[in-house]
Amino acid sequence: MTWWLGNSRGEFSYNFSNPIPDYALSAGIMLIAAIKVRLIIWHFMEVKEGPIWLRWSFDVWLCMLTTIILGLYYYSL
């Protein structure tokens, strides 16, 4: 899905001489990446079997990290 989003919009909306970022597209790709990270850590690192504080702290960390990255991208910092 991430590849499809990047390719379907990239060739029509991206101008290499004057790049204009598409925030909605980038936000969608980042949200898909966050979902992938959550699935990998919950299932392969077995956080789902851990204590409740570990599950909550990981979810809060992931939400904060994704929000910070999207905010920095949106404000071009």
Residue 52: HSE in the Cβ half-sphere, 13 Å Cα cutoff? 0
Q: How confident is the model at residue 6 (pLDDT cuts 50, 70, 90)?
A: low
Number of domains the chain is built from:
1
Q: What is the model's pLDDT at position 71? A: 92
Structure confidence at residue 9 (pLDDT): 53
Q: Supply the DSSP string of 3-54, one letter for each residue.
A: HHHHHHHHHHH--SSS----HHHHHHHHHHHHHHHHHHHHHHS-GGGS-HHH
Q: Which domain does 30 fall in, by range?
A: 2-74
Q: What is the pLDDT of residues 24-77, one digit of tens each?
A: 888 888 999 999 999 999 999 888 898 999 999 999 999 999 999 999 988 876
Q: Which residues contact 59 (CB under 8 A, 6 or more apart)?
A: 38
Using CA atoms in the order 44, 46, 68, 5, what is the torsion angle rounded to 10 degrees?
A: 30
pLDDT value of residue 63: 95
